[in-house]
């Protein structure tokens, strides 16, 4: 029987890990994900899990230890944020290319510099091409549910890739929420035992993993990673269906909110989708056909499904909490690519909330207003805009 509890996002992530009871957790503390390994190490100290907790000296070592453990045949998990994820960078690619099903929670935080500890998505967006599956979570509930499903997705032999479960740092990681959690036994049964085909501690079948792979083979192995990503699209949906049977909570590649008959729509990840839903409800009550698409699976990007979901919308604003300077936001780039064959749709990009800049309903109302103007005039004056940045200074001028 499911029960209702009050947990922060970090507590929910640590609680999911406790129920999963992985063989190995190797982690290094970094704001705002610190509490995840902190709570988890308490579970270890209390004997509530059987996991081996490896306290390492950096995130580079955390991911390296995870890779070693996973290659040895252990179910392996970790958590990080921002600079920690950046320090893991080279090892992220190794984990993915060795096809190791490590599951990592990322409490999204801005990358320095300038030095900042607050939420945006520049950390995980930078890891977009590392070969990790990326799932995004609006709330602590979704983070909890995604982490449990991620174990199954990662370990599915058709996939065999690491999974990053992202939630907004502080906004989700530190905010208390009421959520529904499963019983330990239900989680155990849902994830099952981990029985990898290939692992280093298998004395009956000694193998070598991660060998030198030059011009004659590297390309083929990279092609295999793409194939695994393609397979993941189907596997993610299958596991979501099974999870829905268990919990009643429906998951897909994305959530559609008032989208089916919408004229204007916003595409946005994580917690800001919650704010946008309030605006959608408000606009709908005024008879304005506003909708929302909240991606859950960002890698692999479900192109065909997104195309179908947005094909009747007249104007779309894609909101990116990460920038690519000199180009467009990463989510926008994907969405506009996907919609390329639909010439009737107008798509604009809003960069918002960098470094934790607050984004409220007023800001998102402005975005929907802009979309209404675009529909009315049929014209897009600016493809990329910055939402909530100070464009004009005040009266006072500092004389240096």
Partner 1 sequence: MSEKVYKTGQDASWKELPKAGIIYEAGNAREFKTGDWRVKKPEYYADKCIQCLFCWAYCPESAIIVEDGKVVGIDYDHCKGCGICAVECPDRASAIQMVIE
Kindly calculate the radius of gyration of the chain based on its CA atoms and give it in whole angstroms: 21
Closest CB to partner 1 among residues 157, 192? 157
Contact present, 129 and 222 (Cβ < 8 Å) = no
Does residue 202 touch partner 1 according to CB under 8 A?
Answer: yes
> Contact with partner 1 (CB under 8 A): which of 3, 4, 205, 392?
205
d(CA 184, CA 181): 9
| Interface segment toward partner 1; rule CB under 8 A; list 94-102, 148-156, 325-333, 361-369 | 94-102
Does residue 207 touch partner 1 according to CB under 8 A?
Answer: yes
**158-187: contacts with partner 1 (CB under 8 A):** 160
DSSP state of 356: G
Residue 50 C-beta: closest distance to partner 1, Å: 24
Residue 203 C-beta: closest distance to partner 1, Å: 11
Does residue 216 touch partner 1 according to CB under 8 A?
Answer: yes
Closest CB to partner 1 among residues 205, 245? 205
> Contact with partner 1 (CB under 8 A): which of 99, 277, 296, 314?
99
Counting residues that bind partner 1 (by CB under 8 A) gives: 24
d(CA 28, CA 105): 12
Of 33, 13, 201, give the one whose Cα is nearest residue 108.
33
Does residue 193 touch partner 1 according to CB under 8 A?
Answer: no
Does residue 340 touch partner 1 according to CB under 8 A?
Answer: no
Does residue 366 touch partner 1 according to CB under 8 A?
Answer: no
Tokens of 277: 């839903």
Closest CB to partner 1 among residues 158, 284? 158
| Interface segment toward partner 1; rule CB under 8 A; list 25-33, 96-104, 297-305, 381-389 | 96-104
> Contact with partner 1 (CB under 8 A): which of 57, 185, 204, 396?
204
Neighbours of 6 (CB within 10 A): 11
> Contact with partner 1 (CB under 8 A): which of 189, 221, 304, 362?
221
> Contact with partner 1 (CB under 8 A): which of 224, 234, 342, 369?
224
d(CA 363, CA 373): 16
Closest CB to partner 1 among residues 4, 205? 205
Contact present, 64 and 24 (Cβ < 8 Å) = no
Closest CB to partner 1 among residues 157, 378? 157
d(CA 353, CA 356): 5
d(CA 112, CA 20): 33
> Contact with partner 1 (CB under 8 A): which of 114, 211, 287, 394?
211
Sign of CA dihedral 311, 313, 317, 321: negative
| Interface segment toward partner 1; rule CB under 8 A; list 29-37, 147-155, 210-218, 351-359 | 210-218
Closest CB to partner 1 among residues 192, 210? 210
Contact present, 100 and 93 (Cβ < 8 Å) = no
Sign of CA dihedral 125, 174, 50, 245: negative
d(CA 318, CA 332): 5
> Contact with partner 1 (CB under 8 A): which of 58, 112, 189, 217?
217
Residues making up the chain, counted from first to last: 400
Closest CB to partner 1 among residues 112, 226? 226
Of 287, 286, 361, 347, give the one whose Cα is nearest residue 319.
347
Does residue 90 touch partner 1 according to CB under 8 A?
Answer: no
Of 300, 380, 395, give the one whose Cα is nearest residue 347.
380
> Contact with partner 1 (CB under 8 A): which of 47, 113, 114, 206?
206
Q: How far apart are the first and last CA of the chain?
A: 66
Does residue 230 touch partner 1 according to CB under 8 A?
Answer: no
Does residue 213 touch partner 1 according to CB under 8 A?
Answer: yes
Does residue 203 touch partner 1 according to CB under 8 A?
Answer: no
Does residue 98 touch partner 1 according to CB under 8 A?
Answer: yes
Residue 220 C-beta: closest distance to partner 1, Å: 4
Contact present, 104 and 163 (Cβ < 8 Å) = yes
**300: preceding bond cis by omega (within 30 degrees):** yes
Helix (H, G, I), strand (E, B) or coil at 316: strand
**227: preceding bond cis by omega (within 30 degrees):** no
Residues near partner 1 (CB under 8 A) are 97-99, 160, 197-198, 202, 204-211, 213, 216-217, 219-221, 223-224, 227
């Amino acid at each position: 029987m499911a029960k209702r509890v009050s947990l922060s996002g970090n507590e929910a992530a640590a609680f999911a890990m406790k129920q999963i009871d992985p063989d190995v957790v190797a982690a290094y503390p970094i704001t705002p994900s610190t509490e995840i390994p902190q709570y988890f190490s308490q579970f270890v100290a209390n004997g509530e899990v059987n996991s081996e907790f490896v306290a390492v000296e950096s995130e580079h070592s955390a991911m390296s230890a995870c890779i070693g453990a996973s290659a040895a045949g252990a179910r392996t998990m970790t958590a990080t944020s921002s600079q920690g994820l950046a320090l893991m960078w080279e090892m992220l690619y190794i984990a993915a290319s060795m096809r190791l099903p490590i599951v990592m929670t990322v409490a999204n935080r801005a990358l320095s510099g300038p030095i900042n500890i607050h939420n945006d998505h520049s950390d995980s967006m930078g890891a977009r091409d590392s070969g990790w599956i990326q799932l995004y979570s609006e709330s602590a509930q979704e983070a909890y549910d995604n982490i449990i499903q991620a174990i199954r997705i990662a370990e599915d032999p058709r996939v065999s890739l690491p999974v990053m479960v992202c939630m907004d740092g502080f906004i989700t990681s530190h905010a208390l929420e009421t959520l529904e959690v499963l019983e330990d036994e239900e989680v155990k049964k849902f994830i099952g035992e981990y029985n990898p085909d290939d692992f280093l501690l298998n004395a009956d079948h000694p193998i070598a993993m991660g060998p030198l792979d030059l011009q004659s083979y590297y390309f083929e192995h990279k092609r295999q990673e793409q194939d695994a990503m393609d397979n993941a699209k189907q596997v993610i949906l299958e596991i979501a269906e099974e999870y829905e049977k268990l919990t009643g909570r429906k998951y897909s590649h994305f959530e559609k909110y008032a989208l089916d008959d919408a004229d204007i729509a916003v595409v946005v990840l994580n917690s800001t989708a919650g704010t946008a839903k309030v605006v959608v409800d408000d606009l709908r009550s005024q008879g304005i056909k506003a909708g929302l698409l909240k991606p859950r699976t960002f890698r692999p990007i479900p192109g065909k499904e997104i195309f179908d979901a947005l094909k009747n919308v007249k104007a779309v604003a894609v909101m990116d909490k990460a920038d690519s300077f000199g180009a467009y936001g990463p989510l926008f780039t994907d969405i506009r690519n996907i919609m390329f064959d639909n010439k009737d749709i107008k798509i604009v990009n809003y960069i918002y909330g960098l470094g934790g800049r607050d984004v409220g309903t007023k800001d998102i109302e402005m975005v929907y207003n802009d979309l209404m103007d675009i529909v009315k005039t049929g014209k897009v004056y600016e493809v990329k805009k910055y939402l909530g940045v100070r464009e004009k200074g005040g009266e006072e001028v500092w004389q240096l």
